[in-house]
Amino acid sequence: MKKIWGLMLIALMVTTSAVADAEEETNYKNATKEFKGSDRAASFFKSAYGYAIFPTVGKGGFGLGGAHGDGRVFINGKHVADTSLSQFTIGFQVGGQAFSQIMFFEDESAFKEFKSGNFELGAQASAVAIKAGASADVDYDRGIIIFTVAKGGLMYEASVGGQSFDYEPLD
């Protein structure tokens, strides 16, 4: 009887893991599709050296705030690394929200800076929010450009902070 319960537990764990992997893959595909469908971000998929995409970043704050999201790095359409984003903010802020974020690397130099492990975005860095029907000229700043898409939540914010990234190559 113990062997049967053990086998059932193993089968449940394998099934749960497979479902979670499929859901994660769907999240990446949906986020990529949404950015590719944007007038503002679509052209960067063809011209950029590579990109890091974060399908869901959770953000919250009350005076002090933070955000975190896991992502993947792609070069020439190939998944080459996993990454994570962490953010700390201070100032007037209350609430919580979720968003998707993509960072395009203009060239190999910008990508090398990102993967060095010392890459941080300061308070002066800004992201271009993608809204339905919005179109405008945007360009790289220090070799990167960031786009975001709101997924849900409500947050009032007038704060400063920065983002830092971890880089884990697949090799």
pTM of the entire predicted model: 0.77
- In the chain, how many H helices and how many E strands? 3, 5
Can you give the pLDDT at residue 47? 92
pLDDT, residue 14, reads 40
Cα 169 to chain center, whole Å?
A: 16
The size of the chain, in residues, is 171
Give the pLDDT of residue 65: 87
User: CA-to-CA distance for 125 and 141, rounded, in angstroms?
Assistant: 8
Measured in degrees and rounded to the nearest 5, phi and psi for residue 127 equal -110, 150
Question: Could you state, in chain order, the average pLDDT of each consecutive group of 10 residues for the chain (171 residues)?
Answer: 47 40 77 85 91 92 88 94 89 86 93 81 58 57 86 74 85 76
Phi, psi of 68 (to 5 degrees): -155, 145
* Residue 130 DSSP symbol: P
Asked if 99 and 148 touch (Cβ cutoff 8 Å), the reply is: yes
Structural domains of the chain, count:
1
Give the residue numbers spanning the domain of 163: 2-169
pLDDT value at position 171?
76
Q: What pairs with residue 92 in β-bridges?
A: 158
Which residues neighbour 13 within 8 Å (Cβ) at sequence distance 6 or greater?
none
Tokens 């974020």 correspond to 101
Can you give the pLDDT at residue 37?
Answer: 86
pLDDT, residue 141, reads: 78
Helix (H) / strand (E) containing 49 = none
